[in-house]
Amino acid sequence: MSLTLYPAIDMRGGKCVRLLQGDYDQETIYGDSPFAMAKKFADEGAEWIHMVDLDGAKDGKRVNDKDVIQTAQHLKAKVQIGGGIRKEEDIFHYLEAGVERVIIGSIAISNPQFAIEMIEKYGEKIAVGLDAKNGFVATHGWLNTSKAKAVEVAKRFADAGAETFIFTDIATDGMLSGPNIQAVVELAAITRKNVIASGGVSSLEDLMRLKEQNVSGAIVGKAIYEGRFTVSEALEGVS
């Protein structure tokens, strides 16, 4: 199985940022234009761009959607977006504008029936985002930790027809400490669906380890921004 690379653009206040373990008080700004950053990634060969509306995740509504839509409509790369998606109107808003895939996270925990309905209606256009802290799903920009186990939630939505899951281990996110491969592989085995790993990738070796475990994709942010490797180097390494 080939590993799909998803360079990440986290948006807050109209800028490209990274948070340390999801902490809004530990923010590093890497660029003033999400679209310019997306274009840079696309020019290096990225086929997908992973975008997160951090303001939206915290506020429960779309905030940075203009940057997402600009990217989807003006670049060849496909876009997947998460953060602040709570209603079908949000999903339709993005898909109609050319976004390839919409990630539902917090709403999947607070209103699983709605999530199932959206999966049934929009199929592979919907990905389920599972952000886990010590195995339990965290919601609302990682500010709240639920009592739902990530593997149990994933199994439920896989049975409902979800084809893609994005698994983030909050403990590794932004730490450049290596991804939680064991958790990703376990999730893939339980769901038998595509699982995209997010959090902790620090080197090309990490990407190769994920590929060797037949993980379908990897979201990479800080390692690229900190110059550990470029998008083009990563693509060459996992091709």
pLDDT in tens, 203-221: 999 999 999 998 999 999 9
SS3 22: coil
Q: Which residue has the tokens 């390692």?
A: 223
Helices (H), 147-193: 150-159, 181-191
Please confirm, yes or no, whether 25 is among the known catalytic residues. Answer: no
For the segment 127-147, what is each residue's pLDDT rounded down to a tens digit? 999 988 888 888 765 556 767
How far apart are the C-alpha atoms of 209 and 190, rounded to whole Å?
20
Tokens representing residue 135 in the block: 């195995």
Mode of pairing for the β-strands spanning 23-31 and 15-20? antiparallel
Average pLDDT over residues 164-192: 85
38-80 confidence digits (pLDDT tens): 999 999 999 999 999 999 988 999 999 999 999 999 999 999 9
Q: How far is CA 227 from the centre of its chain?
A: 20
Given 90, 131, 169, 206, the catalytic residue: 131
Question: Is the overall model pTM greater than 0.85, yes or no?
Answer: yes
Annotated catalytic residue 59:
no
7-36 pLDDT, tens per residue? 999 999 999 999 887 788 889 999 999 999
Question: Which residue in 10, 67, 173, 206 is the catalytic one?
Answer: 10
Indicate the SS3 state at residue 228: coil
